[in-house]
């Protein structure tokens, strides 16, 4: 819900401080981080919701497809619903890469020494 609101909210009327730090591609970095968290937390959430009965591969696939579809939907809504927000392929790419990074992080953090008790 938070990402939906941020994706569709208009920031054009807000005054920005001219002295702020200008970070190149800050928008893409933000998209990447949001969707990395989406992938990571989504896997943990789905695992808890199903009590581990789906298995790690199925959980990862569901979260990955959901995150990518949600990112595409948000970009389409920005194009169709808002007047001052633009849909960008770069945002979809950053969302997708972020989701893959979150999934990779799940697999890395919970491998070998600290595995989650996924049912296989």
* Interatomic CA distance for residues 40 and 43, integer angstroms: 5
| Per-position DSSP letters for 69-93, written without gaps between them | HHHHHHHHHHHHH-SS----HHHHH
Question: What is the residue whose two structure tokens read 């595409």?
Answer: 72
Instruction: Check whether 76 has a pLDDT greater than 60.
Output: yes
Angle between helices 89-109 and 56-81 (to 10 degrees): 160
For 19-39, the pLDDT digits (tens) are 566 767 788 898 999 999 999
* Interatomic CA distance for residues 41 and 51, integer angstroms: 15
Instruction: Check whether 107 has a pLDDT greater than 80.
Output: yes
């Amino acid at each position: 819900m938070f990402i939906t609101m941020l994706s569709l909210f208009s920031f054009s009327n807000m005054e920005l401080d001219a002295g702020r730090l200008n970070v190149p591609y800050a928008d893409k970095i933000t998209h990447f981080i949001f969707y990395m968290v989406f992938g990571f937390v989504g896997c943990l959430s789905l695992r808890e919701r199903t009590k581990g009965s789906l298995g790690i591969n199925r959980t990862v696939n569901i979260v990955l497809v959901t995150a990518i579809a949600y990112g595409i939907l948000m970009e389409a809504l920005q194009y169709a619903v808002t007047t001052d927000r633009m849909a960008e392929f770069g945002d979809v790419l950053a969302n997708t890469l972020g989701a893959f990074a979150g999934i990779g992080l799940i697999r890395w953090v919970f491998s070998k020494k600290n595995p989650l008790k996924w049912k296989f």
